[in-house]
Structure 1
Amino acid sequence: MDLPEDYADDRLAFVEGAPATMTSSMHRDLEHGNRLEVGLVGATGPVASVLATVDVAAWDALAVAAGLPLVRLIGAAPRPIPAYNSNGLGLVAPSAAAEEAVELLEEGFTAVKLRLGRPSAADDLAAVRAVREAAGPQYTVMADFNQALSLPEARSRCRLLDDEGLMWIEEPIRRDDYAGSAELAAAMNTPVQIGENFAGPRALAAATAARASNLVMPDLDRIGGVTGWMAAAAIADAAGIPMSSHLYPEASAHLLAATPTAHWLEYVDRANPVLAEPPLVVDGAMRVPEQAGSGVRWDEKAVSHYHLG
């Protein structure tokens, strides 16, 4: 279906000029209005991403107007959030992964995440062992397959890695195969982690009902912004499932501080080049900013430099 070039501007124009001091009922109206405005194309995929962006911006504006950091606005207090370094550690040779893991840990972290899914199970095992040995027993290592395996292959590889001291094995199979993921979670000692692809809190609820994983890690964008995150956190809390974050560390730190079952924050530095004050990680934890709003302040000169318009 072809849409007019100004479709997004027209559909979301109703939020412009809305007072930042919105009540919770007004916020519900904003969320409902957003979904009505995009009812023609559906609140999924890129459209859902736009709605999540508007949601986060609205909460940020409200926090700024109230003179509060976002974490306090949503009922919690700033605190250090355990963070793992998720920069790098791709499908490289075991020796290269070991060297890179040490470098990443030296940046103030106590945990790193390693990507798996090499041509053979033996290659993955060698990489895990190399990183574990280089890091040392005092550090934490997560592993992520990024949906690389079929269920039969996942049964074999996950069993092979089950006693290697990993914090979790993430997305070993297709993101929406809850039955297969539940089978793996029930068969292993190592926790199964999923959730970055949950399309809204109802997906998290469905995965939880299916016992699809031991852990969950929603993505701020895909889960539905701050509003979606808080709904997801309530579901995880009711189920007693530890909840981590996927990307967006700047805002996710605030949300994890208010999440009853908060686990780990995924740290990436992708936004740092355009931030006036990049996130601070000390002793393996990210500090939640105390300034009003999310704490994100743009480096306007850097933004102008990278601007493609």
Structure 2
Amino acid sequence: MNTANASDIVITSIHARAVNVPLEHPVRTSVGVISTSPLVLIDLHASDGSVGRAYLFTYTPMALEATRQMVLALGEALKGQPLAPLDLDRLLAQRLRLLGRTGIALMACAGIDMAAWDALAVARGLPLVELLGGRRRAVPAYDSHSMDGVELGVERARRAVAQGFGAIKTKVGYATLAEDLRVVRALRQAIGDDTQLLVDFNQGLSVPEAVRRIHAFEGEGIAWVEEPTLQEDYAGHARIREQVRLPIQIGENWCGPGEMAKALDASACDFVMPDAMKIGGVTGWLRAAALAQARGLPMSSHIFQEVSVHLLAVTPTCHLLERMDLAGPVLAEPLAFENGTAIAPPQPGTGIAWNEDAVRRFEVRAC
């Protein structure tokens, strides 16, 4: 543990690198395919020698350099500031008031927030979950799959069950309802009745078509239906909820707790699943968890499994951790799963550290 008084620790520099990491399975959805994992790796250096690390997922390689530059620009503005994440959040909100903390700016702020909390936990000699007042405990996870079709879908589902996962998710929204049902029924037969089956439409349907397809799913043992229509259409999700019996899950695209509050006010969902990057990092997640607790809504995570395992452990309505390994190839120690659960690692911080050989192999340098 570092002995410096935490109130005396300041940020000395923030570095950012871009990598484009291969995926074992491309992420196929009803609205497009993600064939690689484009990441911005952040290193926040503090005056006591602590280093906080985080990564951002930009979905497309086209956004890598713009996101990296935004992190660097905001990092310059934070040099010399105390390592106090809540104060940093207020400062960044003020600096971006006119521009707006949305899009790439929101992502960059969240990445810095996660790195700042990581550095603070390292400085205190505590895992992040313990810094936040919780304890390291097993968090149940679901194995997150793609629009894989029947053959690959069944293969991946059986592997997940063999690894002890009590829930799997598949992406649906095929060209026809008949194809959706063919895949769902094949997966249900493969995993048996004791494993939860979750489905994700990735915003691919109109409200009437969502109602039609969800009605058809109601006898298939589906535990939740994710983003059946446009994520920002909270009224549309509310209309779907009124007409179907299956629980509706949304939240991965909420840009900050304010958007989450609007969705909850509209009664748009039964479950919530914020994304650590889009909701505003650790700081945004804690605010989102309070909203979920107030409404009694089970809260799951979207990607970012390394930090989310800490955050869900302090979330009052903790539900399921999404297992989708986007950064594993560039991590020194990827998050471990055992019997369908994950536990935050014991070392100080989040446990994120880079495999520098892999980073050099996959690094994308600006032209």
**Other-structure match for 1:28:** 86
Say whether residues 1:89 and 2:146 are aligned partners: yes
Write out aligned runs for 1:1-309 (5 A): 9-20=72-83, 22=84, 27-86=85-144, 88-92=145-149, 94-309=150-365
Q: Distance in 1 between matches of 2:168 and 2:200?
A: 11
Query: Offset of 1:18 from its aligned partner?
Result: 3.5
CA distance in 1, matches of 2:277, 2:362: 22
Q: Distance in 1 between matches of 2:146 and 2:230?
A: 21
Name the structure where helix makes up a greater proportion of residues.
Answer: 1
Aligned twin of 2:43: none
Task: Select between 33-42 and 283-292 the one with higher mean Cα deviation.
Answer: 33-42
Q: Take 1:164 and 1:6, find their aligned partners in 2: how far apart are those partners?
A: 47
Question: Normalization by structure 1: what TM-score?
Answer: 0.92
| Structure 1 residue 8: Cα displacement | 5.7
Secondary structure of the structure 2 residue equivalent to 1:293: coil
1:12–1:37 CA contact under 8 A, matched in 2: no
For residues 155 and 10 of structure 1, do their structure 2 counterparts lie closer, same or farther at Cα, with a shift above 3 Å needed? closer
Q: SS of 1:222's equivalent?
A: coil
What's the CA shift for 1:206? 1.1
Q: Aligned equivalents of 2:122 and 2:174: distance in 1?
A: 46
Cα 1:270–1:8 change in 2 (3 A) is closer
How far did 1:70 drift? 0.4
Tell me the amino acid that sits aligned with residue 77 of structure 2: F
Instruction: State the one-letter code of the partner of 1:16.
Output: K
CA–CA distance in structure 2, aligned partners of residues 54 and 96 of structure 1: 37
- Write 1 or 2 for the structure with the bigger share of strand: 2
Q: SS of the counterpart of 1:141?
A: strand
Q: Which secondary structure does the structure 2 equivalent of 1:159 belong to? A: helix
Would you say how many aligned residue pairs link Structure 1 and Structure 2?
299
* Amino acid corresponding to residue 179 of structure 2 in structure 1: D
After TM superposition, the runs of 4+ consecutive aligned structure 1 residues lying more than 4 A away are 5-8
Deviations 1:160-211 (A, max 9, x none): 0012111100000010111121122233221100000111011111111111
Native 8 Å contact 2:261 2:291 kept in 1: yes
Match of 1:54, SS state, is helix
TM-score, scaled relative to structure 2: 0.78
CA distance in 2, matches of 1:100, 1:255: 27
Conserved? CA contact 1:109–1:281, under 8 Å:
no
Q: What is the rounded CA distance, in whole Å, between the counterparts of 2:260 and 2:172 in structure 1?
A: 24
Stretches of structure 2 that go unaligned for 5 or more consecutive residues are 1-65
Deviations 1:113-168 (A, max 9, x none): 11100011111011111001001112111100000100110110011001211110
Paired letter, 1:90? M
Partners of 1:227 and 1:170 lie apart in 2 by 25
Q: What one-letter code is carried by the residue in structure 2 that aligns with 1:78? A: R
Kept after mapping to 1: 8 A contact 2:135/2:313: yes
One-letter amino acid of the counterpart of residue 261, structure 2: A
Report how far residue 91 of structure 1 moved.
4.6
Q: Could you tell me how far apart the structure 2 residues matched to 1:29 and 1:170 are?
A: 34
User: Distance in 2 between the 1:219 and 1:51 partners?
Assistant: 14
Shift of 1:6: 6.9
* SS of residue paired to 2:170: strand
Distance 1:256 1:188, change over 3 A: same
Q: Which runs of 5+ in 1 are unaligned?
A: none
Partner of 2:140, secondary structure, is strand
- Relative to structure 1, the CA distance from residue 256 to residue 214 in structure 2 (aligned partners, 3 Å threshold; closer, same or farther) is same
Secondary structure of 2:223's match?
Answer: coil
